[in-house]
Structure formats: C-alpha cells, structure tokens
Structure 1
C-alpha cells in the first residue's frame, strides 16, 4: 500500500518548500544549460525529500509497520486533531488525517468505534480516533512521536508530567495495573489523561471530551 503523510503534515512540508524562490542562474559560456546542476544542500534538520517520480515515502517518515509519522508535534490539541474538532464528524477526521483509517463501524446506531491508521500489522494500534454518537470525541496515543498539548509524551515519567502541568494533575490508581497511575489534566470541558506503568512511565495518553475521555476500556 502506498503510504503518505497525513494532510496536516503535508501542509507543513508544503509551506516549508515555499521559502526561496530566487530565479535559476542563466546558462553561461562555461555552463551547458542542458546539463543538470547539483541541488543546493538542504538546511540542517530538514526532513528527507522524496525523489521525483518515486512513490515510496522516505524510510524514516513512518513508524515501522504503520502509516503513522514518527514525529508530529502540535497537531493534537484540546480542540481535536488539526482541523478536525471534537464534536465533528467521522468525515472530518478522515479528511484531516488524509490517509487510510480503515472501515471500522459501530455495532449499533450511534455506538462507539475507533478509526485506526492502516496497515497496523497487529490487533493493537498506536493512534486511534474514537467516534461515538456519530461524533468525534477522543484521540488515543501510544506513539511517542506525538506530543500532547503542554508537552507530555509516551516514555516520560510521572514526575515530569507533574512538572509540566503544575498543580493541575489529578492522580488516581490505575483500574487494572497494580502500582500504575492515571494522571488526569482538565482543560475547560475537555481533558487529557496519561496512563503510567508500575514504574511510573507513561505508556499511553488520550485527549477528548467527557464521558468518553474516562472510558478506561476504550470502546470495549
């Protein structure tokens, strides 16, 4: 399957490509205009550029076995995913992602289901968009490439989460994992929830609206 970046990531790449529009130098006596010239080196830190006429995305662009970009910051907010706002439709989410999200559907009208980037290779997933009541209500993240609003990420420890979010963290024991914690940060009518393991490391996080943000079992 051809893999491409989500629409929001493609927009960022397109904007970065609009920087230098200086005209190319005219061919001179020592330069044959028909001879290809070497491209200017890319600035340090620039994303890898796909060669013209090729279909494959750069090998480093996606997490292994998925079409999820390895590093995307700022696309997930308390409002939603890019232009897809919480409370919007499934189609809003699909358009914002800009790639295959599978064919999940509710078992009954208005039921809960999760759109997942394809292919995932296993029954697990590292990014999911929850739909319930025909509305986009939550994002689940198990991918350390995505940063939560405020700076939290998978792999951080509880102390760092508490430092990032000040006195806003409401901690409680995990429902299923002994010694693990659930760290909840409220933001108006939305919330951000980090789950840790028994060692205090964040294993996943989710963001969205009540009551779905507090579903421990997801749609289960």
Structure 2
C-alpha cells in the first residue's frame, strides 16, 4: 500500500509567498545560461534550430559581433541576442513583459531590484544617462551576469544577461 494510514494535511507556505519554480519568474524564458532553449555558447545555426519562429540579423563585413532578433519585431531593443566570434554570448531585453532570472523586469525601481537580489547588486554610474545606473548582479556560483539599466529616477529601462566581458558592453556590438 502506497497511501498513508491517516490523513496528511497539504504542504503550506506563508501567505503571500511563492513556491520555488512558480510565479511570473518561473514562467519566463530568461535564464542565467541563455533564453528558452538557446544556450550561451551555441552558434547562430544551433540557436536558429531551437528557436520558435524566424530570427533576423547578420554580421557586417569584417565584424565578429552581431545581433539576431525575432522577425517582425518593430524595435530591435525589445529583444536581441548577441553573438561574438560565432557564439551566443548575451541577450538584451527592453520589454516589460519579459522577466529576468530572479524576477527583475523593466519598470521596477532600484529598491525592488535590491529586494529581489539581496546583497548581490553592485551599482555604477550610467555612461549616457545622467543620474542613471547600471545594477550588476552576478550569477551565484556561475559565470554569467545580469545587468539592469536605470533612468535618472531609478527605474529599470532595460536589462541584459550574458558572459563577461560582452554583458558589460554599453553599446552592444558598437
């Protein structure tokens, strides 16, 4: 018999808590090691094989760095995957509907990011936005980094995940 002899109450969590693996962050395609089935280190052909839909973009003549984005996207900054020297090394997001690993997203403020990643956020001045910041979060025990960019009011405008040094390139491939 594989059933208990007595009634066992269901597992419970404190009110307002989210069980690991559940909630908005768990539903996101964003991961520390890639996006969806596209994993860092894959070449563009491997990424295209696992991606649902068409990806557009290509390297310019003489360049080893380029971006691929979903076809039909009206703004490349909404979502882009960076490739350098033939490998997927970073993805960038400026869409409030896509949730970063750990739960951060566009529209949150600095205090919310600090609360989601307690003791893991280091900040530095934004290169182009006066009073803006870069909020850098290192993957616990892993090689990847998450960088949130904020405006002067401390609100996240975009974020990216990837391998150093590419995740820290302020101007993408430029």
- TM (normalized to structure 1)? 0.64
Q: Deviations over 1:162-213 (max 9, x none)?
A: 0000000010110111000100001121100000000110000000001100
Quote the Cα distance in structure 1 between the aligned partners of 2:73 and 2:36: 22
Q: Secondary structure at the match of 1:116?
A: strand
Q: Secondary structure at the match of 2:98?
A: coil
Per-residue deviation, 1:103: 3.6
- 8 Å Cα contact 1:169/1:184 also seen in 2: yes
Aligned CA-pair RMSD = 1.7
Matching of residue 121 in structure 1 with residue 70 in structure 2:
no
Q: Secondary structure at the match of 2:111?
A: helix
Q: Give the length in aligned residue pairs.
A: 148
Per-residue deviation, 1:129: 0.4
The residue that corresponds to 1:196 in the other structure is 150
Quote the Cα distance in structure 2 between the aligned partners of 1:202 and 1:90: 29
Q: Secondary structure at the match of 1:166?
A: coil
- TM (normalized to structure 2)? 0.80
1:87 to 21, 36, 41: 41
Matching of residue 152 in structure 1 with residue 104 in structure 2:
yes
Stretch of structure 1 that moved more, 138-147 or 111-120: 111-120
Q: Secondary structure at the match of 1:156?
A: coil
Structure 1 stretches of at least 4 aligned residues deviating more than 4 Å after TM superposition: none
Per-residue deviation, 1:104: 1.9
Q: Secondary structure at the match of 1:91?
A: helix
Quote the Cα distance in structure 1 between the aligned partners of 2:173 and 2:27: 26
Q: Deviations over 1:120-141 (max 9, x none)?
A: 335x430000000100000000
- 8 Å Cα contact 2:77/2:92 also seen in 1: no
Q: Secondary structure at the match of 1:125?
A: helix
The residue that corresponds to 1:112 in the other structure is 65
Q: Which runs of 5+ in 2 are unaligned?
A: 1-25
Per-residue deviation, 1:107: 2.9
Name which one, 1 or 2, has greater alpha-carbon Rg.
1
Quote the Cα distance in structure 1 between the aligned partners of 2:80 and 2:47: 11
